[in-house]
Structure 1
Amino acid sequence: MIDAVDYQLIAAVQHGLPITARPYAAIAAQLGIGETEVIERLQVLRQLGLIKRWGVVVKHRQLGYQANAMIVLDVPDQQVEALGRQISSYAFINLCYQRPRQGERWPYNLYCMIHGKSRDTVLQQWAELVTGCGLGGFGKEILFSRRCFKQRGAVYQSAAQQLEPAHG
């Protein structure tokens, strides 16, 4: 079971670790606990599946990945799980998730993203996906981004705000 300190720890690390020789010590000082306790709590949060992984966030557009496409698919509900897993197995797929359909005007229920350096590369990868996953018979659209107004990782709470456990 997690406690208030765990919620504060999640808030402290959600934007990344401080760039310092001992980042866990810096977080510990911020929270008023020991460095070892920070590490142990993070290990428990990872074991519980509340922290999936540690990683670096790369701004893909600034690295030349300008062709970004969201692919939307109208897949029979009984095939979503299998196709979602199959699509996710392709290295060029960055995200893949299911969402509810929104009636006849927007019948799509499976979404995925491809980030590429060129539109042609993304279209080739899309063709590979259609063939490899047998998507030819499904309703589908490929939607290329025109402009990015904002993109960031998920933020669950401000550093000053303590997230309370959900009730219910």
Structure 2
Amino acid sequence: MPIDEIDRKIIQATQAGLPLVSEPYQAVAEQLGLSAQTVMLHLAEMQQTGVVRRIAAVPNHYKLGYRFNGMTVWDVEDGYVDDLGQKVAMLPFVSHCYQRPRHLPEWPYNLFAMVHGKTEQDAGKQVAIIAELLGAQARNHEVLYSTKILKKTGLRIGG
């Protein structure tokens, strides 16, 4: 989707993150000589068209004390994966959940759900809850724990 000059300026002003102030859209607006309403409308339109996927806080789980961050991967029967995936995504401790294609025979997993625990036991309890929810439709699973933090960045455009 094409973006206009205001979109480009908003992206450039926010690509490193929104300002950590009580009114971040107002701060961006003042920086760009726009109204906060204009900034919010443009961001909403960019979300609707898919230029901007989402606006969200990205916590550092390690700094919050969550040392056991695991991507759980599940081999769920294809006929059940959509319905069960939605249920897993609704669990309060799952930060993101999605379906991906299998790559047989090496990779039989098609449902992914990220869990975060302060202890290995905490994470294990969360995995057990997911396993119970998936029941017999989950034939196998693994938990892939994070070993380091990777810097996440979004869209970057030059000026």
The number of aligned residues is 156
Give the equivalent residue in structure 1 for 2:154: 155
Cα RMSD for the two superposed structures: 2.7
Contact 1:70/1:112 (CA < 8 Å) preserved in 2?
Answer: yes
Seen in structure 2, the aligned counterparts of structure 1 residues 135 and 157 have a Cα distance that, compared at 3 Å, is: farther
Identity %: 34
Q: In 1, Cα distance between the equivalents of 2:34 and 2:82?
A: 43
- Provide TM-score, normalisation by structure 2: 0.79
Matches within 5 A, 1:29-108: 31=32, 33-35=33-35, 36-46=37-47, 48=48, 50=50, 51=52, 54-108=55-109
Report the AA paired with residue 108 of structure 2. Answer: P
Q: In 2, Cα distance between the equivalents of 1:21 and 1:72?
A: 38
Deviations 1:71-111 (A, max 9, x none): 11112222221111011111011111111111201111111
15-24 vs 120-129, which moves further:
15-24
Seen in structure 2, the aligned counterparts of structure 1 residues 100 and 7 have a Cα distance that, compared at 3 Å, is: farther
Report the AA paired with residue 148 of structure 1. Answer: K
**Structure 2 unaligned runs (5+)?**
none
Task: Give 1:129 shift.
Answer: 1.5
**Structure 1 unaligned runs (5+)?**
162-168
Seen in structure 2, the aligned counterparts of structure 1 residues 18 and 139 have a Cα distance that, compared at 3 Å, is: same
18-27 vs 67-76, which moves further:
18-27
